[in-house]
Structure 1
Amino acid sequence: MMPVSVVKPPIDELLDKTERNRFLLASLASKRACDINSMLRGQHSRVLAVQDVDDITIALSGKDTISMAMDEIADGDISFDLPRFEEALGHRAADV
């Protein structure tokens, strides 16, 4: 598997979308990447009998799922509920 590097979209742009909270950014991106993987696995398991989902994703989209998730965050396609996030943490995000 290739290492992932966040060059585009710029990390500062991504942090601006997530209250400048690195944990929130990582959580959103990983959750969305898992969702994309699950969606792709479901679609392709009906058509192809392939074992490596990451290779399928890259072959079909040209991108890995983390990059796809980061692009969606930068575009504003992925959002979050700040009060719910803070409640899950047990404190306000600004206190971190």
Structure 2
Amino acid sequence: MSVVKPAIDGLLDRTENNRFLLAALASKRACDINSMLRDQHSRVLAVQDIDDITVALSGKDTISMAMDEIASGDISYDREIFDAALSGRSSSEA
């Protein structure tokens, strides 16, 4: 699988060209989306034998959804907390 849209360069611009930060943001958001959709599924549908419920409900995989949100600026990060984490300080010390 490759990221074609949104372009990787645009995504890296949103994360100060930090590939680790981009991967962490996308992974965390994809997990949140997946959890949200699974919760909705368990409340609304009684469908069995569907392995990837996210794709079944939304038509897109969660990583693609997360990358789209990062590219549009809907998902971001707190730079002070990120910098504090990199330096080993707690966010309250930042």
TM-score class normalised by the smaller sequence: 0.7 to 0.9
Please point out which of 20, 32, 36 is paired with 1:39. 36
Q: Deviations over 1:49-88 (max 9, x none)?
A: 4567762211222210000000000000001111111111
Deviations 1:21-47, CA, capped at 9 Å, x for gaps:
000000000000010011001111112
Q: Which residue of 1 aligns with 2:82?
A: 85
Unpaired runs of at least 5, structure 2? 89-94
**In 2, Cα distance between equivalents of 1:65 and 1:53:** 16
- Please give the alpha-carbon distance, in whole angstroms, between the structure 1 residues aligned to 2:83 and 2:51: 32
Amino acid at match of 2:22: L
CA RMSD of aligned residues (A): 1.9
Aligned match for 1:15, one of 8, 12, 15:
12
- How many residues of Structure 1 are paired with residues of Structure 2 in the alignment? 88
CA distance in 2, matches of 1:50, 1:18: 38
Structure index of larger Rg: 2
Tell me the residue number matched to 2:45.
48
Q: Partners of 2:74 and 2:50 in 1: how far apart?
A: 23
| Alignment partners' CA distance in 2, 1:22 and 1:52 | 36
Calculate percent identity across the aligned residue pairs.
80
Identify the structure with bigger relative contact order (alpha carbons < 8 Å, sequence gap 6+): 1
CA distance in 1, matches of 2:33, 2:3: 18
Q: Counterparts of 2:46 and 2:86 in 1: how far apart (Å)?
A: 40
Q: Could you tell me whether the CA contact under 8 Å between 1:41 and 1:53 is conserved in 2?
A: no
5+ long unaligned stretches in structure 1: 92-96
